[in-house]
Amino acid sequence: MSTLNGKTLESVHKVQGTKNYDVWAMKAIQLLIRKDLYDAIDFTNKDKADKSSCKKDCQTRTTIIFTLDNAILEHAKSATIAKKLWETPKGLFNLAEFSTHYFLLQKLVKISLKSHELITKFVEAIKRQSCQLKELDPIVSE
């Protein structure tokens, strides 16, 4: 944390993928609690919608947006409430999918030129495996 004009600023690095999702979630929750915005993503206390809850939802969405990487924001742009925005990275970086991601990545690394008759078949195999990875993890760059 750093200070600016005597005020403490929270440091929450943007979530970038499975490598920092858990730490991001922990810090983001604390940030939302500190700013009294956690209710917007925790629906255990369902109040009827009023002006203050709408304002709190907008403030919560703004806070969350500034902690997300641009690539993740692409998947969250349709989220109309803070709860949906909050669930976007969790859906992207589900640990069950992580093992599948790891398996596909291993498979990609093991593709060898020796096992393909032509260079074009080799390139096609790499492209096919890369597409499977990208479907699973939209953050994988092309």
Q: pTM higher than 0.85, yes or no? A: no
Residue-wise pLDDT for 37-92, tens only, equals 888 887 665 555 566 788 888 889 889 988 888 888 888 878 888 898 888 888 77
Residue-wise pLDDT for 83-128, tens only, equals 988 888 887 776 556 667 677 777 777 887 777 778 888 888 888 8
Q: Phi and psi dihedrals of 108, rounded to 5? A: -65, -45
